[in-house]
Amino acid sequence: MAAMSMDIATNFIGFAKLQANTLARVRTRVFPLLWRTKLHQSQTIRISSIDLKTVSSFSNSKRRVRSFTTSAATTQSESSDILTKIPPDDRVPATIITGFLGSGKTTLLNHILTADHGKRIAVIENEFGEVDIDGSLVASKTTGAEDIVMLNNGCLCCTVRGDLVRMISELVNKKKGKFDHIVIETTGLANPAPIIQTFYAEDNIFNDVKLDGVVTLVDAKHADFHLDEVKPKGVVNEAVEQIAYADRIIVNKTDLVGEPKIASLIQRIKNINRMAHLTRTEFGKVDLDYVLGIGGFDLERFYFFPSLQLQEHHADHHAHDHTHDPGVSSVSIVCDGNLDLEKGVHDIFQGSPDRLWGLDEPRINKIVFIGKNLDAQALESGFKACLLILHETMSVSRTRK
């Protein structure tokens, strides 16, 4: 009897059908990243269906037993038939929405929250800057039934990863039965690998929550620029990682570019991750079945697609010693006063009216700049110059992760 998750069991059943040398490669490529440290300390691994037994090292953990039985676990035949008996998986599904800065993650999330799917969704919003922008944009779209928890001032893949574990545990412990699905929106700078790892490595999460899928938004207009970016030595390209780890890819903002550019971008994406489903859209308008209830993050493709293994290698290193591009920081400005909207806009700017201000609600401007080598003072004075009347209550915060 071995203890393991259904998702992982399913993958292992698939793996067991592979050739012996294949299994060895899968294990060394996938495990270092996605499996808890205990596995590294487990007994010698033999290449056969015996591999299934190795997983029983998990039974020492606090992990709730998700068991299966195998009639062939004691034979060394590579072609053994494996009979499985998998208990129903009643864990809460969680979806990670990722994608580079401005690719349309919040737009997709709002589409999900306002659609008629009958699901009660708990949302975890992660923002790189100190000031919460997306949270308010999402909150205004919810009916009130959903929970929204904010994780500001850091990235889920590194500085606030511990908070993610705590938040999911709290959600599950205090509100179990009150929601059907968790959706997590990462920052645009997140490397998904360490976040995915959290779902498999943390007992607190693994026992109650299963990773339903990783959905990656790709900005049709700016993706090439981000994919081309050469990072400092030892720093991964997050835009590539986000595509590499996706179960579902949404090429968004297709209204902003022509067909040839979309076609070449899709080809480029497929060269990074051929296993993920891909669709193209505007303003995140996709069928909800495409993004929710996918049925489980797919570990298997880490073997089948070579460039993913390469990514995994980087991500493994990254997971242990994760830093964002050291040049990237954020500057947040919060102040009241009316802005002259004609001033200060040189690039694409788009705004849309949201809900009306509340009667006693303070009318506050919030702006977060995320970028490389930001000059906080210049941004602050530039912003001040756009105010119609200068207010002294401006607060500026800077963060570097």
Ligand X SMILES: Nc1nc2c(ncn2[C@@H]2O[C@H](COP(=O)(O)OP(=O)(O)OP(=O)(O)O)[C@@H](O)[C@H]2O)c(=O)[nH]1
Residue 66 sits in the site that holds ligand X (CB under 6 A): no
Residue 238 sits in the site that holds ligand X (CB under 6 A): no
> What's the CA gap between 33 and 16, in Å, rounded?
20
Residue 330 sits in the site that holds ligand X (CB under 6 A): no
> What's the CA gap between 103 and 111, in Å, rounded?
14
Tell which positions 107-126 bind ligand X, by CB under 6 A. Answer: 107
> What's the CA gap between 374 and 334, in Å, rounded?
17
To ligand X, the closest distance from the beta carbon of 99 in angstroms equals 5
> What's the CA gap between 178 and 172, in Å, rounded?
9
> What's the CA gap between 54 and 59, in Å, rounded?
10
Considering only 188, 192, 194, 296, the residue that binds ligand X (CB under 6 A) is: 188
Count of chain residues binding ligand X (CB under 6 A)? 18
Nearer to ligand X, 185 or 208 (CB): 185
To ligand X, the closest distance from the beta carbon of 186 in angstroms equals 9
3-state helix/strand/coil string of the chain:
CEECCHHHHHHHHHHHCCCHHHHHHHHHHHHHHHCCHHHHCCCCCCCCCCHHHHHHHHHHCCCCCCEECCCCCCCCCCCCCCCCCCCCCCCEEEEEEEECCCCCHHHHHHHHHHCCCCCCEEEEEECCCCCCCHHHHHHCCCCCCCEEEEECCCCCCCCCHHHHHHHHHHHHHHHCCCCCEEEEECCCCCCHHHHHHHHHHCHHHHCCEEEEEEEEEEECCCHHHHHHCCCCCCCCCHHHHHHHCCCEEEEECHHHCCHHHHHHHHHHHHHHCCCCEEEECCCCCCCHHHHCCCCCCCCCHHHHCHHHHHHHHHHHHHHHCCCCCCCEEEEEEEEECCECCCCCCCCCCCCCCCCCCCCCCCCEEEEEEEEECCCHHHHHHHHHCCECCCCCCCEEEEEEC
Nearer to ligand X, 24 or 266 (CB): 266
Stretch that binds ligand X, among 170-178, 249-257, 258-266, 356-364 (CB under 6 A): 249-257
- The pairing of beta strand 92-99 with beta strand 209-219: parallel
To ligand X, the closest distance from the beta carbon of 371 in angstroms equals 11
Tell which positions 17-46 bind ligand X, by CB under 6 A. Answer: none
Stretch that binds ligand X, among 44-52, 98-106, 154-162, 329-337 (CB under 6 A): 98-106
Residue 252 sits in the site that holds ligand X (CB under 6 A): yes
Residue 293 sits in the site that holds ligand X (CB under 6 A): no
Residue 101 sits in the site that holds ligand X (CB under 6 A): yes
To ligand X, the closest distance from the beta carbon of 249 in angstroms equals 14
Residue 283 sits in the site that holds ligand X (CB under 6 A): yes
Nearer to ligand X, 72 or 101 (CB): 101
Stretch that binds ligand X, among 148-156, 163-171, 240-248, 279-287 (CB under 6 A): 279-287
> What's the CA gap between 273 and 298, in Å, rounded?
12
To ligand X, the closest distance from the beta carbon of 97 in angstroms equals 8
Residue 134 sits in the site that holds ligand X (CB under 6 A): yes
Residue 256 sits in the site that holds ligand X (CB under 6 A): yes
Nearer to ligand X, 37 or 350 (CB): 350
Residue 367 sits in the site that holds ligand X (CB under 6 A): no
Residue 354 sits in the site that holds ligand X (CB under 6 A): no
Considering only 32, 93, 99, 194, the residue that binds ligand X (CB under 6 A) is: 99
Stretch that binds ligand X, among 37-45, 281-289, 309-317, 391-399 (CB under 6 A): 281-289
Give bridge partners of residue 339 from the DSSP assignment: 387
To ligand X, the closest distance from the beta carbon of 329 in angstroms equals 15
Nearer to ligand X, 108 or 294 (CB): 108
Residues 138-177, mask of contacts with ligand X (x by CB under 6 A): ----------------------------------------
Considering only 161, 181, 253, 301, the residue that binds ligand X (CB under 6 A) is: 253
Q: List contacts with ligand X (CB under 6 A).
A: 99, 101-107, 134, 188, 252-253, 255-256, 282-284, 350
